[in-house]
Amino acid sequence: QLLWRAAAEINAGFAPGVVFIGGLAVYAHAVSSAQFAGLAAFSHDVDLLISVADYTDLKDIEQVVTNRRLSKSQFYKHGFEFDVYVEGHHGLCVPYTEAAAASVERAGLRVACVEHLLALKLVAFGDRRGSAKGDKDADDLLTLLLLASEGPREAMAAARIDDTGLDVLGE
């Protein structure tokens, strides 16, 4: 509950400039699904994409530390780690502007669409398979595939899943 409240505070303070990704976004999609809510697995941290303008404001109110090696920034809120990927300054396979345009509101948070989350999770799983985080990524991927079966999808967002991602799905 404390992690969710921390995410909700960031969501409210920086809407519409923030888009949640990662396990928390998968959870928000799953818990909002009548059919697959039972598969919702909570996360232990928060990952988000943010606009440059809102990132500037975020640095004014949080103690943000830049990790250039990983192309992200980090801060802690209520004891939880937030990984921040700034528009135009990250190496993720989904650009901020595209994620923001296709984002949706789920469980009160603005989150990336299922297809963008699939693309991002496929890369994460490819990098972390065989580890505890990789196991969580695999669970999230299965949940996202089930969620994708619920209705119309964002075809343009699905195009972010490259050949490597398709190979990982095949596995």
Along the chain (171 residues), what's the average pLDDT of each consecutive run of 10 residues? 93 92 95 90 90 95 90 94 94 94 95 95 90 90 91 74 82 78
**Which backbone phi and psi does 125 adopt, to 5 degrees?**
-65, -40
Q: Is the pTM of this model over 0.85?
A: yes
Helices (H) and strands (E) in the chain, counts: 8, 7
Task: Note the pLDDT of residue 93.
Answer: 93
Which residues neighbour 45 within 8 Å (Cβ) at sequence distance 6 or greater? 3, 22, 23, 24, 80, 81, 82, 83
Under DSSP, the state recorded for 77 is E
